[in-house]
Structure 1
Amino acid sequence: MSAAGRSDRPRILVVGPSWVGDMVMAQSLFVALGGGERCDIDVLAPGWSLPILERMPQVRRGIAMPLGHGDFGLAVRWRLGRELATEGYAQAVVLPGSLKSALIPFFARIPRRTGFRGEMRYGLLNDLRSLDKAALPMTVQRFVALARPAGAPLPEPFPLPTLVADATNQERLRAELGLPLHQPAVAFMPGAEYGPAKQWPLPHFAELARRLVARGQQVWVLGSAKDRPAGDEIAAGNPGVHNLAGNTRLGDAVDLLGMASAAVTNDSGLMHVAAALGVPLVAIFGSSSPEHTPPLAERVAIRTLRLECSPCFERTCPLGHTRCLTDITPDSVLTALDSVVAGGAKPVFLRRAVG
């Protein structure tokens, strides 16, 4: 439908987050706002995130933020705000907590500017909310709460992210990457942007890959160029492993995950992508907590040991042993993978995740 055909609906500008997983979870907010039905939603976000937004039917368009992460760029924000003032937005919803993230909606003179109290944003936001972290422990709950009147309960159940893969791009990827069509593929996501305390050991990934290939499955390693060496280690001596890390763009990784029969992942942005595509998923948590940013899907199994020292939320293990990850065995992950593929797992967002 053309933008002209939607002009009778109010327009909302969402200032989006700066992480892959958070951008996926923001789709729950877009659904709660009624994107594509009760309103038209534009999302101001980092340029890298536009392929994810293109796979969300609730988003009319993504607007690339012309500044890098951490750049203040007051003059650039003022000019963009004045450009967006012509769009006639009725509301802005600001997801990041920084002062600079609230400037563009203010410069655009959007009448209602919604967000949580953060970094000295009084006046910039005029629908300013207090965040009760105990009442809203999960990031996705905090996003959805901004679609509701202040203090109103969340919808039950709250909407889950649901990405739509690009079928045309999937066919192109199959051909260009030479991926076999006759074997079910299990996607591995061994990276974690935050640090090594969120990364399951590569020898464990490699052992799991050997077992999967031995029983007739193929393994696709997905990630950025930084994950390429990890993929090489997993694939070493195993021709059934296809190391695609660094060979694809983010949109391609989304569409590849949409073709996978299952996935095994660290707590990472691609974990949330896989969950939003409905891929049966085993998510491995070490230093982080599945109670704060769990994968939001029906077919998910969580592997976490809940040691006394975890979750510590550190980039590297303060004790130097990373037992929260090394003690999660390939056997246990394979068992969890078979269970979730068979439909035996439960939605992790409805219960306390256990190991």
Structure 2
Amino acid sequence: MDIKSLVIAPQWIGDAVMTEPLMRRLAARGERLTVGALPWVAPVYRAMPHVVEVIEFPFAHGGLQWAARRAMAKTLRGRFDAAYVCPNSLKSALIPWWAGISRRVGYSGEARWGLLNQRLPNPPEGERPPMVAFYSALSGDAGLDADQPHLQLPPGAAAAALAAQSLQAQGFYVLAPGAEYGPAKRWPAAHFAALASQLALPVLLLGSGKDAEVCAEIAAAVNAKQPGQCRDLAGKTTLDQAIALIASAKAMVSNDSGLMHVAAAFGVPQVAVFGSSSPLHTPPLSDRATVLWLKNDPAYQPPLDCAPCFARECPLGHTRCLVDIAPAKVLSYL
């Protein structure tokens, strides 16, 4: 008889992608997987073949939302033998506890002693392993470092997304200029526009509604000289559609963002531009990914002693780590 397991998903797209090897490991030993996820990450789990069911949790960012979590837990009572809690927050562990799931696995986290009964010690600040290994450790298995996330589109998803945009597979590039964390992770809009103007195929700009301003700026600059070359879809697609378009693209260029990890998990050729963050911790895990990070470029002078600063905005006011990555450099890898 299969073990029925509930996985409580992280709330960020990139982190959700990083949990795929955990799903694969759990499914390989016979666990039937249901994922509870917030609506903005649920599409990532619909692209994981080992996940049997995705339940969208109707919760908002912030706040414990006790009543809503209790109500959700009531609907899940008696359905599961085990739960794996990926986030470290107290609220993420409430549903498995209230649902009466007998085995509840997660990191020690935020005051969760009574909520979890199988706890892993949280690595100290600065010593956390790469995120894939961090999440895969919840399985209790060894040999986690070699895992790479892999996603697979549901049947018909690519055809539907391409038809909606009148596109052909491999007939366009995707640029993802956003990075929700802050401007110190965003390659300049003018650089994205210069790159888009030099590409031989049409360009799609993908992102959330929060990226609408920068994407509109890029599209306007490109289309003023080459009408129709650049299509701004920021905030105009569902995440399911955006995932399908990325999977169907000839190549993608992005900042260090959740969509970067989506492209890597589909094996799409990509260039990932890093600024304030570090590819040593959250790189795109794909043999077809090129990472550009001036911190580890010995030819770049003067050296970037300030990187990685992990700041939302450049503390020194110059953002050299991004400004000095030229569009021609990115183009050379496409």
TM-score (norm 1): 0.85
Aligned twin of 2:327:
330
Q: What's the counterpart of residue 171 of structure 1?
A: 159
Unaligned runs of 5+ in 1: 1-7, 339-355
What SS does the aligned partner of 1:161 have?
Answer: coil
Match of 2:52 among 60, 65, 88: 60
2:64 paired residue number: 72
Residue deviations 1:78-135 (CA, integer Å, cap 9, x gap): 2322321220x22111111111111111111211111111111112111111133566
Aligned positions, number:
320
1:9 touches 1:40 (CA, 8 Å); kept in 2? Answer: yes
Counterpart of 1:209 in structure 2: which amino acid?
A: A
1:146 alignment partner, SS class: helix
Secondary structure of 2:2's aligned partner:
coil
For structure 2, which runs of at least 5 residues remain unmatched after alignment?
A: 296-303
> Does the CA contact (< 8 Å) of 2:133 and 2:144 recur in 1?
no
Q: Conserved in 2, the CA contact under 8 Å of 1:166 and 1:255?
A: no
Q: Do 1:137 and 1:291's aligned partners in 2 also have CA atoms closer than 8 Å?
A: no
- What is aligned with 1:227? 211
Shift of the 196–177 alpha-carbon distance from structure 1 to 2, 3 Å rule, reads same
Counterpart check, 1:132 vs 2:130 = no
1:182 deviation in Å?
8.9
Cα deviation, residue 305, structure 1: 1.0
User: Identity rate of aligned residues, in percent?
Assistant: 44
Deviates more, 1:303-312 or 1:222-231: 222-231
RMSD of Structure 2 on Structure 1 (CA):
1.8
Pair 1:75–1:233, CA change in 2 (3 A): closer
For 1:183 and 1:277, how far apart are their aligned partners in 2?
13
CA distance in 1, matches of 2:5, 2:169: 45
Q: Is the Cα–Cα contact under 8 Å of residues 167 and 255 in structure 1 kept in the other structure?
A: no
Deviation at 1:68, TM superposition (A): 1.0
2:37 aligned to 39, 45, 63, which one? 45
Please tell me whether the aligned partners of residues 78 and 101 of structure 2 are also in contact (alpha carbons under 8 angstroms): no
Give the letter for the 1:302 counterpart: V
Q: 1:1-355 alignment to 2 at 5 Å?
A: 8-34=1-27, 38-87=30-79, 89-132=80-123, 136-148=128-140, 153-155=142-144, 157-158=146-147, 160-166=148-154, 168-179=156-167, 181=168, 184-212=171-199, 216-236=200-220, 237=224, 238=226, 239-306=228-295, 307-335=304-332, 337-338=333-334
Q: Distance in 2 between matches of 1:161 and 1:182?
A: 22
Q: For residues 202-230 of structure 1, give each alpha carbon's deviation from its aligned partner in whole angstroms, at most 9, with x where no partner exists.
A: 11111111111xxx322111111222332
Residues 178 and 211 of structure 2 are in contact (CA less than 8 Å); yes or no, is this contact kept in structure 1? yes
2:48 partner SS: coil
Q: Contact 1:285 / 1:325 at 8 angstroms: preserved in 2? A: yes
Q: Is the 8 A contact 1:198 1:286 kept in 2?
A: yes
Whichever residue aligns with residue 272 of structure 1, its letter is H
Provide, for residues 232-271 of structure 1, a one-character-per-residue CA deviation record: whole Å limited to 9, x for no partner.
2222323322222222110000000111011000011111
